[in-house]
Homo-oligomer: A and B are copies of this chain.
């Protein structure tokens, strides 16, 4: 009787462990990192906005750069080439960047956001490896890429996760 009880207890234990392991494996994350590297705000006038942010934070207003299509990974908007441009400025915070984006026309998720919502917070960004692979995993889960591009030394992809997560995400890969 003792042996039967022991065997039953062991069997239940083994089945429970297998079941729990199975559950763990099912939840392989799309985003491995738990660090948000950037929060981006769409603005109408980047000069006005960068000076106002600088004043609030008590720091120097950052330089403004221009994002545009780059040969390393030409800009695609919903799968088609785009000549979209935007002015960018970055505040280096303690734990992430605040990015200001002023859309300059052309088809882009930046311009879409400004036209639809006005100014506001457009996305949070995660640093990833193998950006094309991560894009595909999102696509398979019903979160398609709305825009992708690159710059000298890196690549970005905007994921339209608005239906599932309530917002856009940006994937960033530095080469």
Contacts and interface: CB of A to CB of B under 8 A. Distances in A.
Interface of A: 27-36, 39, 41-44, 48-49, 52-59, 93-96, 98, 100, 117, 119-124, 141, 161-162, 164-167
A93 B56 contact: no
Copies in the complex: 2
A32 B28 CA distance: 39
Most chain B CB within 10 A, of A34, A35, A96, A100, is at A34
Contacts of A98: 36, 124
B49 A165 contact: yes
Contacts of A141: 55-56
B56 A166 contact: no
A22 to B, nearest CB: 15
B165 A53 contact: yes
Contacts of A49: 164-166
20 contacts: A28-B58, A29-B55, A30-B58, A31-B56, A31-B57, A34-B57, A35-B93, A35-B94, A36-B93, A36-B94, A39-B121, A48-B164, A49-B164, A95-B96, A117-B117, A119-B167, A120-B120, A121-B121, A121-B122, A121-B123
